[in-house]
Chain A
Amino acid sequence: MIPSIEWLDDPEIFSQGTVPAHSDHHYYKTAQEVQQGNSFEQSLNGTWQFHFAPTPQVRLTDFFDSQFDPAHMDEIQVPQHIELAGYAQIKYINTLYPWEGKEYRRPVGTESYSPENSSPFATSEMNCVGQYRKQFDLDKGLQGQRIKVRFDGVQTAMYVWVNGHFVGYSEDSFTTAEFDITQWVHAQHNVIAVEVFKYSTASYLEDQDFFRFFGIFRDVTLLAEPAVHLADLSLVPTVSDDFTQGDLAIQMKLTGESAQLRASTIRVTIADSANNQLLTQTMAAEERTTPEPLHFDEVTLWSNQHPTLYHFQAEIIDATGSVIEVISYQFGFRKIEIKNNVVILNGQRLIISGVNRHEWNCQTGRVISEQDMRADLKTFDELNINAVRTCHYPDQDLWYDLCDQHGTYVMAENNLETHGSWQKMGAVEPSYNVPGSVPEWRGAVMARAQNNYEMLKNHASILFWSLGNESFAGENIAQMNAYYKTMDPNRLTHYEGVFRDPAYRDRISDVESRMYATPAEIAEYLENNPDKPYLNCEYMHSMGNSVGGMKSYDDLIQKYPSYQGGFIWDFVDQALLVKDEITGQQVMRYGGDFDDRHSDYEFSGDGLLFADRQPKPATQEVKYFYGKY
């Protein structure tokens, strides 16, 4: 495979050489390693060699070569945003595209696009490039096996080489990209090289309301695979109509040399939340191992109040009887459905006391720690928040595990927002909207749906798949909805943007979702033969001194069963703690404070918490109203 910089301008090329999306299960060499120390994994986080190129034209052309002398390269930390390392200007902009007023372009395939009128990303004066390079030896536990490299988050488009060989290309900044590097990697003296571009056609799909960072901002990990490996796991727990019994449908996709695979067996063990073993079953390994659903005469349901999780364990046993891989996963029994136009969870009306949550830390941006996540869940408890929308992209994988354990209902949103393509200066103007119904963009958004679904499909906490945010509506989003309904009949789909184009109303979103509707507008919908339950995917805009009038929304809960509540916008201010140039004190800064123009200035400061995670005064109101349910 020969890499081409022209991929940056081709919406139909969004991944090359990547391992197909799969479940986010971890796998271990032994059962002991489930508790600590995974010898199949090796972190590549830490110090990398780095070269910053302000434009594609001046990037190093041979930095990935094994023979390249990196003596003149800088150093950077991974994970880290390149802007926060000081190389590129920090920029915050909300709806308009970041090249607003600086470069003219239109999305490929739309009516107003022509190659002549659009500035290519490949030659853009704004498209800065981060070139990363790291030497590594394989840890002992990884040597002699299949090796993959996994990137949990890289923004916006990246090319990867190992020992001078081109490995692949990936977009979709917020889901995992994996490359199989077995054929190029050695036990020692390896060089991995990553070239990250700030902008590509993917930028059209990632127009979220946030600081426009780029670079490797989540973990990079090497993974070894034993001779037979569970590549994908699907656990579908279902509940009987009387909510007392359950079934667990299991699908396992195995990889490995076929003779070895056929000689192996899989032992599946299920334990309850107290770790009492409920059943164990050994089965022959097949590429697709699909045992009869396991039946449970008695199940304890998972919910916000009682997040009961069961333990799934699979052990792959080779021909000699040795366990070569152990998989551990937690799953929960719960049932979400719509009955009589009401969203019902485990037989009871679902009331969403939710927040939208960007991943944010005022010192490190979207590089957040487990400590940040746990602090957020503690705050959820304190404020009686029971639900989170992962606005507007998939979060770090650990977040979903924690939500499973914590009983937080999740609306799992795709990495998709094309706000600037259909709304300008507040007015709806979708003449060059993507993805719309433009064929050139279908593959990219379908891949995003697939990445989100395949990675997260086993999480008990996820009740809704959200197709994305503020991307208008069209055939492509309708296809995304159809994809989720096909793959997952047990969860609901959500998408607000169809409100802008009711022609797709029957094909997009199980719920009527709006943002910032007034209580009167919501009542009007609910009074007039509503055909879908109503929820606010965003409401109570907590910008500055706000969150007045929450009672009027609470009154709707009392009055209309089809009103399901909503997600406050949003959880934590996105602002950056920096050193004041005058006093040297640590101060909070926002868009425009870095001479970045056009900017939307303080508009990212709309959390229930300040950027340093201290609660805003309005939280006492939220705690009160959310505490009623």
Chain B
Amino acid sequence: MENTKHQLQVVYGDGSLGVLSDRVKYLFSYERGGLESLTIDGKEWLYRVPKPLFWRATTDNDRGNHFSEKSAMWLGADLFSACDEIAVAIDGQPIELPIAPVNNQYSNHETADSVAITFTYLTPTVPQTKVEINYQVTADGRLQLTANYHGQAGLPQLPAFGIKLVMPTPAVSFEYQGLSGETYPDRMDGANAGNYQTVGMPVTPYLVPQECGMHMQTDSLTVNRRSTLNNADADAQEFSLMINQNGNPFAFSCLPYTAEELENATHHEELPAKRRTVLSILGAVRGVGGIDSWGAEVEPQFQLAADQDYSVSVEIGPQV
């Protein structure tokens, strides 16, 4: 710890926890129940706090086999899971939640080698279950982001599980190391592993807007943007966020819409203007199926039972 340059500055605020490194600065909000701000070199990457992701826009096959009707509770969970508990650890040691008056003990020069903060969300399902989203910031300013779903018997199958990151402005492109094309657990034999770039955030033009753009088995992903919502930022240089796998490959989609926006549209022209980036980082994805579109189930090995645990973990930081 001699090299203080590589320590994190910690700001024990009254409503939030600031974790600041040279380039990357984090603001965890107790009020909003999650990471409210992630800036890299001053550019904001979050529009709203990341939330657990459960829903996918109903595919034609989902409609046919009534999956969405049976699993509709997860749509509510996707929209309305509430933060129930927040836990903070500094240098691996849990501390009492540093809100007033507990935070009166701190100063303007608090540092740490690592900061961990876990937000626990309860689902509005019957029965209820919980998801922890854990943020671990290391001295170099990088973030390990992990989400854990706790299996619960009595719940319907999950459409998907992961974390939804909504960014303030649209991505201009993304690059990833993973599989070619749009892939799902039951539709990835034909894909080739490699490095791929996608310009814009194409929404696959299925006749009725639906779940699309999934990329399975991803090792790394870079999202590139050019604009911010900051009125004082006139810079048009492209800037990037990099997401690496942390132990296991992850699945992702990078779209201009939430699952709910897609869900509501019966035609593409009904979708709103593309103004955000919705990055879904997933540890579990239901297959799309294909036997027929009026009742056939997705093959059992590609269904997501709700009584199993699921998790996803990635490392996030500036492009290296």
Contact = CB atoms under 8 A, between A and B. Distances in A.
A469 B184 CA distance: 32
B204 A546 contact: no
A207 B59 CA distance: 27
A617 B268 CA distance: 17
Contacts of B204: 545, 616-617
Given A549-B298, A573-B207, A541 B268 contact: no
Interface residues of A, number: 44
A374 to B, nearest CB: 23
Contacts of B206: 544-545, 605, 616
A146 interface: no
A625 B180 CA distance: 15
26 contacts: A516-B291, A516-B292, A518-B291, A518-B296, A540-B290, A544-B59, A544-B206, A544-B210, A545-B60, A545-B206, A546-B60, A546-B288, A547-B187, A548-B61, A548-B287, A549-B186, A549-B291, A551-B189, A582-B269, A587-B268, A588-B268, A602-B60, A602-B207, A610-B207, A617-B183, A620-B180
B151 interface: no
A140 to B, nearest CB: 50
A106 to B, nearest CB: 26
A147 to B, nearest CB: 45
A549 B60 CA distance: 15
Contacts of B287: 548-549
A623 interface: yes
A172 interface: no
Contacts of A546: 59-61, 288-290, 293
B191 interface: yes
B47 interface: no
Interface in A587-609: 587-590, 593, 602-603, 605-606
B299 interface: yes
Interface of A: 426, 516, 518, 539-552, 573, 575, 580, 582-583, 585, 587-590, 593, 602-603, 605-606, 610-611, 614, 616-618, 620-625
Interface in B268-320: 268-269, 287-294, 296, 298-299, 302
B181 interface: yes
Contacts of B289: 546, 548-549
A545 B269 CA distance: 18
A44 B302 CA distance: 56
Contact of A547 (B64, B185, B191, B288): B288
Interface residues of B, number: 39
Q: Which are the 4 A-B pairs with shortest beta-carbon distances?
A: A624-B190, A617-B182, A605-B207, A544-B60
A606 B268 CA distance: 17
B32 interface: no
B5 interface: no
Contact of A621 (B189, B268, B269, B299): B189
B90 interface: no
Interface string B80-101: 0000000000000000000000
A154 to B, nearest CB: 29
A625 B189 contact: yes
B155 interface: no
A209 B93 CA distance: 65
B219 interface: no
B44 to A, nearest CB: 31
A588 B209 CA distance: 11
B72 interface: no
Interface of B: 59-61, 64, 180-191, 204-208, 210-212, 267-269, 287-294, 296, 298-299, 302
A583 B269 CA distance: 9
Contact of A545 (B61, B180, B291, B302): B61
A549 B187 CA distance: 6
A625 B190 CA distance: 7
A518 B211 CA distance: 24
A542 B187 CA distance: 12
A270 B12 CA distance: 93
Contacts of B298: 548-549
A544 B208 contact: yes
A621 B60 CA distance: 18
B292 A550 contact: no
A589 B267 CA distance: 8
A549 B297 CA distance: 10
A589 B269 CA distance: 10
Contacts of B290: 540-542, 546-550, 618
A614 B202 CA distance: 14
Contacts of A551: 186, 189
Contacts of A549: 186-187, 287, 289-291, 298-299, 302
B190 A620 contact: yes
B299 A544 contact: no
Given A583-B269, A620-B181, A541 B189 contact: no
Contacts of A539: 291
Contact of A544 (B188, B189, B207, B294): B207
A549 B189 CA distance: 10
A550 B211 CA distance: 19
User: Taking each of B184, B212, B291, B294, which has the highest tally of chain A beta carbons within 10 Å of its own beta carbon?
Assistant: B291
A271 to B, nearest CB: 41
Nearest to B205: A610
B101 to A, nearest CB: 53
Given A605-B206, A610-B205, A616-B204, A545 B288 contact: yes
A260 B299 CA distance: 70
Contacts of B208: 544, 590, 602, 605
A483 B98 CA distance: 87
B268 A548 contact: no
A289 B180 CA distance: 59
A539 to B, nearest CB: 8
B291 A541 contact: yes
Contacts of B181: 617, 620
B187 A548 contact: yes
User: Taking each of A544, A545, A549, A602, which has the highest tally of chain B beta carbons within 10 Å of its own beta carbon?
Assistant: A545
Given A588-B205, A589-B267, A544 B293 contact: yes
Given A545-B59, A575-B207, A602-B208, 5 more contacts: A518-B296, A545-B206, A605-B208, A606-B60, A610-B207
Contacts of A623: 190
User: Taking each of A540, A580, A610, A620, which has the highest tally of chain B beta carbons within 10 Å of its own beta carbon?
Assistant: A620
A573 B207 CA distance: 8
A544 B293 CA distance: 9
Contact of A543 (B187, B269, B293, B299): B293
A582 B188 CA distance: 38
B126 to A, nearest CB: 29
A622 B189 CA distance: 10
Given A544-B206, A587-B267, A426 B294 contact: yes
Contacts of A593: 267
A618 B205 contact: no
Nearest to B297: A518
Nearest to A587: B269
B14 to A, nearest CB: 46
B146 to A, nearest CB: 28
A550 B296 CA distance: 14
Nearest to A574: B207
A143 to B, nearest CB: 51
B270 to A, nearest CB: 9
B287 to A, nearest CB: 5
A545 B211 contact: yes
B165 to A, nearest CB: 22
Nearest to B294: A426
B212 A545 contact: yes
A365 to B, nearest CB: 16
B293 A552 contact: no
A583 B272 CA distance: 13
Given A548-B290, A585-B269, A621 B190 contact: yes
A543 B288 contact: no
Contacts of A585: 269
Nearest to A593: B267
